[in-house]
Every structure is written in C-alpha cells, then in structure tokens.
Structure 1
Amino acid sequence: MSICVLEQDRARCGRALRRRPAMKILIIARPYAFHGGVESATAGLMRALVAHGHDVHRAGPGRQQAQPGVTEHPLPMPPLPSPARAVALALLAAPVARRGGWDVVQSHERTLVQDVYRAGEGAHRAYLEAMASRGGRRVHHAVTLALERRVFARTPQIVAISRRSADDIARHYAVPPPRLSVVYNGVDLERFHPALRARHRDAARADADVPATAYAMLFAGSGFERKGLSTAIRALAHLGDGGARLLVLGRGDAAPYRRLAGELGVAGRVVWLGARPDIERWYAAADVLVLPTRYEPFGNVHLEALASGLPVVTSSVAGGAEVVDDRCGAVVASDDAAGFAAALEKLRGRNATELRDAARAAAEPLTFARQVQALEEVYRRLGRNRCFFLTKQHRRHRLPGWVFARPCSLTATGR
C-alpha cells in the first residue's frame, strides 16, 4: 500500500470522525464491578460512553454483570497462573479486535491489537523501580515487561491517567508527545458526596467501634506494601492524639502490619475492615484519607475521597497528588511517617467545613463526561494519524499483514 493511498485513508478517517461523533468502540478490559478501584473506573467510563451515544462493546475474561448499552464478548479464559493469564488474554482478545467493524479498539490491558492503550497501571518498569527492594515473581515481571514493550512500541495512541505516569512512560519507552495523552479518570459525584456524612457516619463508626469524637484516618487500597500501609501505621504512632484511629479498608496480608502496630503500641487503634463494597460509608465515617503509596499512577480513592468532602494526605509519587493542594490536603514523601503525622495534625486544626468544601471543589471538574470528551479528542487524533504511524511501525517491526491492513476503519461505512 503506497503512502499516497495511506494519506487518503487517513484524511477519510479524520473526516468520518468529524462527520459522525458516535462510534463503535471495543474496549478490552477485565470484568469490572460497580464499587471501588480500577474496575469501578471502567464501569463509569463505559456508562459515560454509552450516554454520549457510542456503541460500546467489551471483550474480556469472565462473566460480567450486565450494563445497559454495553455488548459483551466474553473470552474463554482457562484457569492459569498469573503470567500465563496475561499472555492468554492478549492472544484471545486479538481475533475480536481484528474482526473489523470497530471505529476504535481501546485496551485497558497489555494486549496485542489496539488503537488506543489506556495505561491505567502506568509503566511496569517504573513500578519495579519504585519497589526495587521487594523482589520475587520474576516470571510475572518478565512477561509483563515483554507485553508492555510491545504495547508502547506498536500502539498508535497511549493514554496515561496522570502527568507523572505519562512522564514514566516517556522516560522508559520514548513514546513521543503526539502519541501520548493524559486523561484523568472520572468520579461519580452522586455516589460520592459530602451529604452522605450525615446519613452514614454514626452508623459506620458504631459498626467499626470507633468513638464518635475520635480523629479517624482512612487507608483504602489493596496491596498493602505498595500502598504504604506501614508508613500510615507509623504516622498513627507519631500522632500526639492517643485516641486517633486508622481504618484499614482493602485486601492484603495483614499479619506483618498487625505485628508492626503491636510493636509501635497502636494495635488497639488500627481497625481492620477488610475489603468492602460500601466504601462510600467509610469516607463518611472518616476525617481524612491517608495514602502513603510507593507507586500509584492515579488511585481512584483520591477522587472518591475528595468528592466525598474528605481531605487527602498522599505521597508525592502518587498521580492523585496532581489534584491535591494545601486547600484540600497535603503531599508528603512516601516513606516520611513523621511528615504524614505533621500534615495530619495541621489538617485537624483547620475548619472542617472549609476543608470539606475545598475537597469537593477539587473533584467536581473530574466527571466521567469530561473523561469521555478528552478520549473523543484522542480518537479524533487517532483518525488523523494512525495510518501514517502504522506504516512506520510496519517497516520498523515487520508487523504481520493484518496489523498493517486493518487500522483505517474510521469510515462512514465502518459500522
């Protein structure tokens, strides 16, 4: 195929997107839930895409709770160890993506065929840097890095979920600015709202045996080591207030952290909630979110807490720190327990209503509708340049013919 023909196709793709904003979009993603975390972000995004009039499809492993307007393409994933699951997902998703008729193929996983890769987990190489002293799982890391290299080299458009994550991707994989965008996640401003404080606070505290007057810090997240739970426990021990509580919500091996709390004399002040679907109750119960994460492209808990009117104290390596300032929280080095304690003490002394209003104001611009609008701009840019990009990649990487042939599907007859 000549460059001339490719340029004509590229122009046709761009015209088609401008002429017809509604698109047939395939999203490759693991099964999502409607509560908390990465899966909640996917659910909210897909709802918003449907609300914008797009024809949305999901391909992924496992059974998925039905969502109006989303067509499911389940992938038959056999029970496999983690590294093999990643490879199997990439191989199983490829035929669905190749099938054609899609205006945009957007993957939230490290797969083989996509127009847009949403790098929700950031760059795995950056994660390994951050967790350098915590080895293990070598096969998993090797497989993840191999898939990641391919994704960043061969995908026309990369979407990072924070500026910090975009910097990591550019630094490790030399993805140039025309192919790299930053699109923050959205947050459900109705589900997470300061008004829930009056409805849930007293009952949630009673359930957790937290005194009504206690200063309650919420740590929310699974993967306690990466999220910095040890720093949160040490910060609790640094606080002058012996009545303060740390509520720990999420999945993980709690045993070493229970021992640490015991050694520091705060075991009776740490409340272990486990993983729960009703996270909004615990935002209502708490006075502040504390997240001393060691690596975090952009934890959704930052936005959920702010939307709930909860100030946030997080680490400087968190993507969520980009929406936190001294009006609604604080940013501290991830391993600085004394710094976290000082920030918490300072926030405690401030006017609670002003903090709550500032937190809510920080979250309000970050809606799912705004996220979709930003992604639609990525899709328009994709229509203008992906054919030219794939010509270069075909020469450089000797891509198979189907990769070279299929991308220019953004035509008026592409559906």
Structure 2
Amino acid sequence: MLTLPEGIRGSADPRFTAPVRAFARLFARYVRTGGALSVRLRGEPVVRIWTGTADAAGEVPWQEDTSALTFSTTKGITSLVVHRLADRGLLDYDTPVAEYWPEFAAGGKHSITVRDLLAHRAGLSDLRRVLEQPGDVLDHVLMEQRMAAATPDWTRGLPVYHAVTFGWLLGGLCRAVTGQSMAELYRTELAEPLGITGLSLGRPADDARVAELVGPSLDLTGTRLGKPITAAAVRVPIVGKIISSMHFTDGERALSGPIPELSYSENGAATGVFTADAIASVYSVLADDGCRGDTRLLSPGTTRALIRSTNTSPDPNRLTFWHLGYHPFPTVGAPRALGHMGLGGSGGWADPDSGLSVGFVHNRLDLVRLPLDMTLMSLLLPSVVRAASTAQRGEKATRAA
C-alpha cells in the first residue's frame, strides 16, 4: 500500500499516488475542514482516504465511516433506485406518472412521464407554489401529497432544475409502485444488495459519525441587501425559477447550524447522508455495466441505455441537461462520464469507459466560497483518470508478456 501524506488516513493503491497527493494539497491549502475520497476501479477499491475533522469546533477527527450531508448528490442515488425498478419492469420511463400514481393526474399532469421527472421537465420546481408553512419542507409524506395535487407552471417541458421537489416527486412515484418510502428503498434496493453501510436518506438513527457542517450562516436573504436582491431576482423569468426552486420563507432556518434541521427529513433530492465509499460503491454499478464486483444491480441493456441517454438527449427537440437523473460529467480522458454534484461540492461520478467510480464528501458549506467549492471534485478527477489509465496500460503489458 502507498505511504500516505501527513494528515491523510486510509489506504491507496500505489498506482494512484497522484490523486492522493492532489486530495492532500486541496485540504491542506484550501478546504481545511474534513472530508473523504473513495475511488473504485471495476468495483474494487483503489483509494479510500480521509482527513481533517468532522465537527464545527475542529476537535473530532474524521473517521473511515464518517458520513456527511450531501445535498443534491442525493439525486444520483435516488435515480438509481428508480432505474432498479425500471429494470424489473415496475416502471417505464415514457409512461405517464399518473398510471402508477393516480392522484398525480390532478392539475392537468396526466401527460407528465417518468422521464420528465428525471429530466426536471415537470414544471413543478417552484417551492412557493407548494409550501404553506416553512416547516412543511420537513414532512416528506405531506409534500408528496402536495406534489400530486399541484398544477404545473409555464416551465412544463423545459429543463428547469427541481432542486428540492425532485425528491418528493420520485418519492411519491416509488411509494405508489412499491408501497415503500424512498429511505426504505435505499436500504432494500441499494445498501443491502451491495452489502454497504453509510447510505442513508436523512440522518441515521445512530448519527454519531455524521459530520457537522462548518461555515457561516446561510441567511443571505435576511440581510439588508439580500431581501431586495432576492425579491427582484425572483421576478426574472428563468432566474426567478432557479431561486424559487431552492429558496422559501424562513428556509435558512432549516439549513442553519452545524446540524441542519433539514438533515432529519427524507428528501431524495437533498438529504442524503453518505460516506464517500458508499457513493463510489453505488456509482460503480454505472461504471461497470450494471455490476459492483460479482453483484449485479442493473441489466447490461438498462445500464447502456442509461449511459447513452445521459450523453445524448432522448428528445433532440427538448434540450435538457439532466438525463434520467444524472448530468454529463466529463473530464480529461473521460468524455462519457456522468454523475451528480451537491451543494458545497460533494459528488458521485462514474466513467463507463474506464470502469472508474468516485465518491467525494466534505463538511464545509460557505456560500462566499461556494463557486470554487463546487469545482473541488472536478479538480481531483483528472488525476484519478490518468492514474487509472496508467494502471490499465501496465496490466495490459503484463498480460501481453
């Protein structure tokens, strides 16, 4: 095993020295809280490292099994649950949601398909249209009912990010099909078949190893300038829809503090509490033709169709960035990679060409540094891909000899 840089714990294949060093530099010079990186190659772990601290006071060391609130990284995991159901014939992407969830036909939504939900084209992104009280956001069953009763707005058919409602929409759909909540499906469809821990929707009952968030208050809209800026921005057609998909009255309270109230709710768009290795394990299914090692979660046909639709739109007349729950996530040497990022910069990533999967988490949430933080995983990926390419060339040379 590789001798790790000072302050980095875990293990790594010596062929992956470069991404380990990149991770160490990133946290030593810039992030300075805690976090973890996991890399799998054809399902096998080649990097499992962590560093820093897991609490706001900077006193509790990050451990191998420390998990973190990952925000929209959750969407990629939720989407795989949907694909598992589709693979077994319980769902079809182009069937109207109302055929599975009859209540969803209300408000003229009878033509919205499963594919539309996954592609953020349902016209149901605006939180202001479905929240009556700020605390409603914490009740996933209530919000699934609200989504079923809601009427789409003028963005129906357009790719407008359903930042929060995505989770309630797919939660309601999957509940209608299986009778189980999305949190239960995480366990039965993903964690148990893969034999993994550290994959929870909402904070787990034993949450001692969940990292606290570190950063200043998120209450920008309550400031002297924040309120008028937000009020003006929501009136701009597209910009307003983006803001209203994430912002609601008193919403900062649900996200404030080291342990946000939101993290106790079950929302398949935003409240995943994951370890880096759990993310990499799930994404290895997409990286290795539907398998993680000897465990098959998706058929090869479903996996290949999913990857094709992620990289080329299934409907060229309706541009969208999200295809079946993922966005294209290319990097140097991996043009067909896909995945999903989360607020603050966590993420899951898979490259079907190399068989690589990556999970990355940390516990800093600082809106001032957010634009840079959202690039953290992208800064690590090129070194991961180069290391894997070198390793695979070495394996081919050895076999040839």
Q: Between Structure 1 and Structure 2, which shows a larger proportion of helix residues? A: 1
Q: Which entry has the higher C-alpha Rg, 1 or 2? A: 1
Q: TM-score range by the shorter chain?
A: under 0.3
TM-score (norm 2): 0.28
Pick 1 or 2: higher relative contact order, CA cutoff 8 A, min separation 6: 2
TM-score (norm 1): 0.27
